[in-house]
Amino acid sequence: MTGLERFSINQMTVKQLSLPELADACAGLGIRNVGLWREPVRSYGLEATAALVRDAGLTVTTLCRGGFLTAVDPAQRAAALADNRRAVDEAAALGTDTLVLVSGGLPAGSRDLHGARERIADALAELGPYAERHGVRLAIEPLHPMYAADRCVVSTLAQALDLAERFPARQVGVTVDTYHIWWDDRAPGQIARAGAAGRIHTFQLADWTTPLPEGVLDGRGQIGDGAVDMREWRAYVETAGYTGPIEVELFNDGLWARDGREVLAETAARFVEHVME
Amino acid sequence: MTGLERFSINQMTVKQLSLPELADACAGLGIRNVGLWREPVRSYGLEATAALVRDAGLTVTTLCRGGFLTAVDPAQRAAALADNRRAVDEAAALGTDTLVLVSGGLPAGSRDLHGARERIADALAELGPYAERHGVRLAIEPLHPMYAADRCVVSTLAQALDLAERFPARQVGVTVDTYHIWWDDRAPGQIARAGAAGRIHTFQLADWTTPLPEGVLDGRGQIGDGAVDMREWRAYVETAGYTGPIEVELFNDGLWARDGREVLAETAARFVEHVME
């Protein structure tokens, strides 16, 4: 299939495939890039995964994910920082320069969004230099505001950039993911802001479909099925200077119930049709 | 119960109560204000409802709701405008000066948020003067971004004010509802903007609780159960000059399954505890 040079398949989109199955399916379709997740990588083995993708000629575009940096309790904070340093190490071992960060929600019983965001900044001050020493950039991912309480208090690109800009771009930037920002009329301007500073560390796609499922985690739509104009968002990041991989990351019970190779082929075709053509 | 002078119970919070039951329960608790919805008012009869609330000494703080103004099809647009003029008439008949507007989502197959927002502005240009002639103000309600596709393309107070400010404040203002804006770090500044222009036409409360239910419509939390600091938001609107009624509007399957009078008493007590004290 042509038009896939910049396509990257995030492993979660086809989590029913093992890593060797994913590598094999990518080879069959001419897919050169993958985004990986820490849990399946650990299950298969970090070194084994690194060898597998290297032998398959695959580029690892991102590792998902670090973060969850909003705890108040000192022991929990120390554990989170240690876990994020391990995530940096894993990213480096896999040969990717980008670690996606999901910042974390409000601690139980807290109503202090501002304080939680400041604790993220404190954590980044420790993690940024560590990541830089390992050749890894941290990519703060604003998550849709519907996750603000329980998953990520960073809800907009503007908030993510307000945090990132306290640090050098080689340490901290942002993840631009259509699923989380498509509704935001300020997002195009924030993409320009991010691009001008070299802070678009990864660009991810998912479509917005309704009704949302209970818990709102696993309803990310296949490209082309929903409300997001993919070409428009691609144009925003490209105008801002981003020419890197474009990762499709879908959490979708319907896709997960199907044959993974079929879903991968469909996703690649949708990418060509709705993003690149 | 003291501390209820500014409390208004939105009828949807206790939709299991008939209008006479609601009026009776309000009298028993010393509640002076209600927010009404068009459908139950129509079922009971517009004139009968107006007489009921008048005889009970209740003030109708808002009528919910007009809106759904994003259709492209001319016949659908004409029908929506006609329905909104009827909603204005109903508000006037009930003696309330505020009609809440939920703007509408994307038309089927559309991905054009900007165009949809412009069609809302076009409709307001027709409806604003009509409302003013009837002594009614339109209150654009930004809904949480999770409703942007299927219910309301106006997702932030800033967007709502961008629309409202094209018209006189006596015609068009905004609804400030904690459920929809609590995550937004720009919202306090936008409340100040709205207050300075006399455009806070109503202030509504619901708490944010997770996990969200399927469809994300009926998961609005009881005051005090969730992530929203109610006193903080009350301070924002009061600092901005708003001293009017504070309406509690909950859509919650759990509350609807309980005895309505018990839920009303609980809601009034939560209001005093978490908002006023």
Dump the DSSP string for B240-268: TT--S-EEE---BHHHHTS-HHHHHHHHH
Q: Look up residue A24 and give its amino acid.
A: D
Chain A CB within 8 Å of residue B121 CB:
no
In chain B, the N- to C-terminal Cα span, in Å, equals: 13
Confidence class for position B277, pLDDT limits 50, 70, 90: confident
Q: How far away is chain A from the Cα of B226, in angstroms, using its nearest Cα?
A: 8
Residue contact A111–B150, C-beta within 8 A? no
Q: How many CB atoms lie within 10 A of CB A130?
A: 16
User: Which helix or strand (DSSP H or E) is residue A19 part of?
Assistant: helix A19-29
pLDDT digits (tens, 9 = 90+) for B246-275: 999 999 999 999 999 999 999 999 999 999
Q: Are strands B200-205 and B246-248 parallel, antiparallel or unpaired?
A: parallel
Over pLDDT 70: what percentage of chain B? 100
Residue listed under structure tokens 């990041």: A237
Give contacts of B214 with chain A, Cβ < 8 Å.
211-214
Radius of gyration of chain B (CA): 18
Residue contact B183–A148, C-beta within 8 A? yes
- Taken as a whole, chain A contains a residue count of 277
* Strand ranges inside chain B, DSSP E: 7-10, 33-37, 59-67, 98-102, 137-140, 172-177, 200-205, 207-208, 220-221, 246-248
pLDDT for res A2: 85
Peptide bond into B211 cis (omega under 30): yes
Considering chain B, what is the average pLDDT of its residues?
A: 98
pLDDT for res B205: 98
Across B163-170, average pLDDT: 98
For the structural domain made of A7-276, what CATH number should be given? Answer: 3.20.20.150
Q: For residue B80, what are its two tokens? A: 């929506």
Residue listed under structure tokens 């809302």: B120
Q: For residue A180, what are its two tokens? A: 């989380």
pLDDT digits (tens, 9 = 90+) for B173-206: 999 999 999 999 999 999 999 999 999 999 999 9
ipTM of the complex: 0.96
Residue contact A211–B215, C-beta within 8 A? yes
Chain B CB within 8 Å of residue A109 CB:
no
Confidence class for position B2, pLDDT limits 50, 70, 90: confident
Confidence class for position B236, pLDDT limits 50, 70, 90: very high
Across A46-59, average pLDDT: 98
Chain B CB within 8 Å of residue A149 CB:
yes
Give the largest Cα separation in chain B, rounded.
51
User: Which helix or strand (DSSP H or E) is residue B124 part of?
Assistant: helix B113-133
**Residue B272 · residue B30 · CB < 8 Å:** no
pLDDT for res B34: 98
Out of A114, A145, A182, closest to residue B144 by CB:
A145
Residue A257 exposed, middle or buried by CB count within 10 Å (0-12, 13-18, 19+)? exposed
pLDDT greater than 80 at residue B233: yes
Across A135-155, average pLDDT: 98
**Residue A224 · residue A270 · CB < 8 Å:** yes
* Strand ranges inside chain A, DSSP E: 7-10, 33-37, 59-67, 98-102, 137-140, 172-177, 200-205, 207-208, 220-221, 246-248
Q: Which residues 185-204 of A have a C-beta within 8 angstroms of B?
A: 185-186
**Residue A264 · residue A27 · CB < 8 Å:** no
Residue contact B214–A211, C-beta within 8 A? yes
Residue contact A226–B155, C-beta within 8 A? no
